[in-house]
Chain A
Amino acid sequence: MRPLNISLRFDVSVTPQPWTLASGLRRLVLWAVLAVVAVFFAVPIVWLLLETTRAGQTGPDSQVGAPLAFGSLHQLVQNWQVLFSGLVGQIGTWLANSALYSGSGVLIAVGLGVPAGYGLATFDFFGRRLLLFATMIAMLIPSTALVLPLVLEAHSLGMLSSPLAVILPYGFFPFGVYIAYLYFNTPRVFGLLAAARSDGCNEWQAFRHVALPLSTPILGLVVVLDFIASWTNYFLPWGMYLAFGCAGSAGTTIACQTTRYPVTLGVAQQLMAGAPAPFAIPQPASVTLQSLQMQTNAPASVEALLILVSVAPVIVVLVIAQRWIASGRLQGIFV
């Protein structure tokens, strides 16, 4: 007997609710709350953008009055020239370093991570579950938790000033492995791979010609997330390039590696006003900090431009990849 299909369908047409005082008030509150929070998030960036167009003569003090005002485009060009003239440091070198470190890290993360996720998803081998759980634990540990151990390890290996000291940790991106694992771990992929093998593909060809072309969406996601995490990393390069040499450690053997700095360290360098305080909790003394003391004599507007330039690549990536990031975060992972 053929089963009888009964399809019941209710069409409920929801007409817009008539305007009432209560619903109007509710919308008003909703928009007010969102507006206030949006102002909190946006004003620092708006301030930064405006500040880069203003003149600053000697220091932050000279900027008193009307903080949110537009200067002139001409001034922006001048600030740009000052920034790249070497007043605040080797900004061009720092940007190139950041690009080198993050770019190499991303290449390693993709080149090792995607095959690893594929291997975990489609092969059964001794230690597979152990490696999978290690990956999940590693991706949920804040990356800062391993910085000091990494610096101590690099110190013991004499690798503190090597670019590899930051590139290898940037290339270790367990979240990318997990994403690739989830992506390949589906019956659809298993079916495609079985078909490829029965058509005579070996394991490498099955990966290269079947799995890899399927994986473009996660390639983009891994690239974007690892790039952002690497570019904005401050603690790790601080430990590798600055902490031993420049912070005035007792047994300093390594010179200050300013030419190795990524741009996050360059930005932080602006604050390095002098030798660190002695090891005691300082008491609020008679000295009061009048205003931000900078390493160089650069005005606040040039420092603002430095901040903006240092994060510009990340903002560009964010704008381009907004949709990918949203879907990646949707997987519930936060790097």
Chain B
Amino acid sequence: MSRERPGSLEAVREAAELLGYRLVSARRWKRRRPRLRRVRPQSPRRRSRAGYLFVAGYALLLGVVGLWPAGYALNLALTTFDGAFSGVSNFTGSYNQGFLIPAFENVGKFMLIWLTALIVMVIGLSLLMHTLARRVGAAFRFIFYVPAAFAGSASVLLWLFLLQPGLSPWDFVLHALGYKTLGDTLISGNLPVIYALIAFWTGAGSWILVIHGALTNVPEDVLEAAALDGAGPLQTALRIKLPMIKKWVVYMLIVALAGGTQLFAEPQLVSVANLGLVSPVWSPNTLATYLAFQYNNFNYAAAISIDLLVVALVCAGILVFRTRLFKAD
């Protein structure tokens, strides 16, 4: 509060600063309206070059393993084998080969199953476990999360054993479906389901942790109020909890969508295991690596990897700029 006489120069300046303005023409303030300029709110951060020293190493790494490879791939995608600029011909060329669309269709089928399973099971299980005692819920969450340790090649090898009639603990299921050999199980119509099973087994636990974390943030008094108003467990779940965790569900779906298009380990390893019966170019990523490493066609491979990178960038951009999940200040 100003101790100055109301109407004095100091009082006006202080009032202006409180409102976020700077008095521009102090000398001529006796004009009817003092000239003010909006100032940016005072940053709590120190304006200092020392900041560069703290971020330098990380920024360098971001350049070397983030921007450089992306730029290099873009460069490859836009040039021919001998380095001449070729416009979009690598993109159209990789499309015209006829393997890219089937690969995206395969991944689309996989994601339809996987995303549905994620929505139904992850949300359903999280809501169910939220009604349990804390320790019991934690034990279940741990069981669901442990398979995350098998991500990558271990889960695929393990599941190949689990899908083999005679060896599998679910032998009776495979038997009921009429599968007698591993080749029967791995028919191409089953592949999206099998990959979705593996991805769900290794990945769902993490998402259950996320959704459970969101549920624990639902204020206790809201739930009490709902209970006092006579809402049963089902109504509370559907009308109170679900709307309050909606943004995390959207987050899960977008991240899972971006990750799903990248499917690599499962189709690559199953293709190796089942040589000659499963396409080595089942997903866009296996197609791109196949082009690069079997045919040395880096330009087509780079074009496909740019396609996939654009999908990932769009998903990440939506999350950063269109949702309020991540704060930047």
A and B interact physically = yes
Which residues of A does B touch, CB under 8 Å?
Answer: 12, 14, 26, 30, 33-34, 37-38, 40-48, 51, 60-61, 63-65, 67-68, 108, 111-113, 115-116, 118-125, 128-129, 131-138, 140-142, 144-153, 155-156, 168-169, 171-172, 174, 177-178, 182, 185, 187, 190, 203, 207, 228, 232-235, 238-239, 243-244, 247-251, 264-265, 267-268, 270-274, 276-277, 279, 281-282, 284-285, 287-293, 300, 303-304, 307, 310-311, 314-315, 318, 322, 325-327, 329-330, 332, 334
Which of B201, B262, B295, B302 lies in contact with A144, CB distance below 8 A?
B262
| Contact of A307 with B298 in the complex, beta carbons under 8 Å | no
Interface residues of B in 281-298 (CB under 8 A from A): 281, 285, 288-290, 292-296, 298
Assembled-state Cα–Cα distance A268/B99 (Å): 25
| Contact of B206 with A271 in the complex, beta carbons under 8 Å | no
Q: Which 6 A-B pairs have the closest CB atoms?
A: A123-B51, A119-B54, A330-B213, A289-B183, A116-B58, A149-B69
Q: Which B residues are in CB contact (< 8 Å) with A274?
A: 275
Q: Which A residues are in CB contact (< 8 Å) with B102?
A: 281
Assembled-state Cα–Cα distance A315/B159 (Å): 18
- CB within 8 Å for A140 and B319 given contacts A67-B171, A123-B46, A153-B72: yes
| Contact of B305 with A148 in the complex, beta carbons under 8 Å | yes
Smallest CB gap from A280: residue in B: B279
Q: Which B residues are in CB contact (< 8 Å) with A276?
A: 272, 275, 280, 290, 294
- Check if B47 is an interface residue, CB within 8 A of chain A: yes
Q: What 0/1 pattern do residues 176 to 208 of B give for CB contact below 8 A with A?
A: 000001111011100000000000010011110
| Contact of B65 with A172 in the complex, beta carbons under 8 Å | yes
- CB within 8 Å for A131 and B55 given contacts A268-B157, A288-B183: yes
| Contact of B54 with A281 in the complex, beta carbons under 8 Å | no
Interface residues of B in 115-166 (CB under 8 A from A): 121, 124-125, 128-129, 131, 140-154, 156-162, 164, 166
- CB within 8 Å for A148 and B45 given contacts A115-B55, A288-B184: no
| Contact of A311 with B209 in the complex, beta carbons under 8 Å | no
| Contact of B182 with A291 in the complex, beta carbons under 8 Å | yes
In the assembled complex, the CB of A37 is this many whole angstroms from the nearest CB of chain B, namely 6
- CB within 8 Å for A332 and B210 given contacts A152-B73, A152-B76, A279-B290: yes
Q: Which of B4-12, B25-33, B88-96, B251-259 contacts A (4 or more CB under 8 A)?
A: B251-259
Assembled-state Cα–Cα distance A300/B288 (Å): 32
- CB within 8 Å for A137 and B233 given contacts A33-B128, A47-B169, A112-B57: no
Smallest CB gap from B58: residue in A: A116
Q: Could you list some 14 contacts between A and B, CB below 8 A?
A: A44-B162, A65-B166, A124-B46, A145-B258, A146-B70, A152-B302, A169-B65, A232-B154, A250-B296, A268-B153, A270-B157, A284-B188, A293-B275, A326-B212
Q: Which B residues are in CB contact (< 8 Å) with A112?
A: 57-58, 61
| Contact of A288 with B272 in the complex, beta carbons under 8 Å | no
Which of B160, B276, B290, B327 lies in contact with A292, CB distance below 8 A?
B160
- Check if B309 is an interface residue, CB within 8 A of chain A: yes
| Contact of A273 with B292 in the complex, beta carbons under 8 Å | no
Which of A111, A238, A271 lies in contact with B273, CB distance below 8 A?
A271
- Check if B19 is an interface residue, CB within 8 A of chain A: no
Assembled-state Cα–Cα distance A187/B329 (Å): 12
Assembled-state Cα–Cα distance A108/B64 (Å): 14
- CB within 8 Å for A292 and B65 given contacts A281-B279, A307-B154: no
Q: Which B residues are in CB contact (< 8 Å) with A168?
A: 61, 64-65
- Check if B167 is an interface residue, CB within 8 A of chain A: yes
| Contact of A150 with B171 in the complex, beta carbons under 8 Å | no
Which residues of B does A touch, CB under 8 Å?
Answer: 43-55, 57-59, 61-62, 64-66, 68-70, 72-73, 76, 99, 102, 121, 124-125, 128-129, 131, 140-154, 156-162, 164, 166-171, 181-184, 186-188, 201, 204-207, 209-210, 212-214, 216, 224, 227-228, 233, 248, 251-252, 255, 258-259, 262, 264-265, 268-269, 271-281, 285, 288-290, 292-296, 298, 301-302, 305, 308-309, 312-313, 315-317, 319-320, 325-329
Q: Which B residues are in CB contact (< 8 Å) with A48?
A: 158
Which of A67, A137, A243, A304 lies in contact with B320, CB distance below 8 A?
A137
Assembled-state Cα–Cα distance A146/B313 (Å): 11
Assembled-state Cα–Cα distance A290/B302 (Å): 37
Which of A115, A178, A284, A330 lies in contact with B187, CB distance below 8 A?
A284
Which of A137, A144, A268 lies in contact with B259, CB distance below 8 A?
A144
- CB within 8 Å for A249 and B293 given contacts A30-B128, A137-B317, A145-B312: yes
Assembled-state Cα–Cα distance A327/B209 (Å): 9
In the assembled complex, the CB of A159 is this many whole angstroms from the nearest CB of chain B, namely 11
Q: Which B residues are in CB contact (< 8 Å) with A148?
A: 73, 285, 288-289, 292, 301-302, 305
- CB within 8 Å for A235 and B265 given contacts A133-B328, A142-B258, A292-B160: yes
| Contact of A124 with B51 in the complex, beta carbons under 8 Å | yes
In the assembled complex, the CB of B83 is this many whole angstroms from the nearest CB of chain A, namely 12
| Contact of B61 with A326 in the complex, beta carbons under 8 Å | no
Q: Which A residues are in CB contact (< 8 Å) with B206?
A: 329, 334
